[in-house]
Amino acid sequence: MLQYNRPTLSENENFRVLQCSVFRVLRLLFCLERNRHFFRRLFPSEFYEKFIDIGHYVHELQAYTTLVDSYRHIIETTPKDTVQSCWDTSDQQRDPIAVIGQYEVIEQLGSGAFGCVYRVHKKIINSAHKTSAPTYALKEIFMLQEDESNVDKSYGDIISEVRIIKQQLRHPNIVRYRRVFVENHKLYIVMDLVEGASLRDHINSVKEKNETFTEVRIWNIVIQVIFEFLLSA
């Protein structure tokens, strides 16, 4: 219904009220943290930021009219295949795009000069249980060595360090390491998947509202970045 783009229908006031009601329900579902990763994949980033900015538990339908107009603009200006692909990514029953070790790759979350990060879950024989399967972040690290004789030693050193981190670092605010393994000359680290908006999402959202970060919030972000740097160093 959100994709419906017949001019005669989109200009109908009752239909606009219905669309606002749909977005209100979606925003209510977004309040439940376990649902948020679906919306992050479902909506384009700019629209996702506006969706977040509505706030939790806003009852007035008028507050959702900007979302209706923005989404209508997206439907009108974005190729149909692109819009459909956004909806398809939320389908938890779809086939994996790849298989790495014991894990099925759902999607690629990011990439850099030294590797990639994927959203994965363990291989499941019964497809009916896919929706309940826990998802993880699988970090793929490219091991580049000029001296091939040092490759095995490098793998061993990193695996030992990750195992130490896994055993000793147990804190609710630190991402938990689950497993480390080597396959096809690449190192893989299985970690808990942290859902939610990225730092860029938060910065863009604050910028659009002509606001600034409070000092407390800035320090919270800096501390998290330092932790991430120390754990990945």
Give the residue numbers of the binding site for ATP: 139
Return phi, psi of residue 183, to 5°: -150, 135
Indicate the annotated binding residues: 139
Contact 155, 141 (CB under 8 A): no
Q: Are 178 and 191 in contact (CB under 8 A)?
A: yes
- Both structure tokens of 174: 């630190």
* Pairing of β 177-183 and β 115-122: unpaired
Closest to 186 (Cα-Cα) out of 114, 112, 113? 114
Beta bridge partners of 118: 108, 138
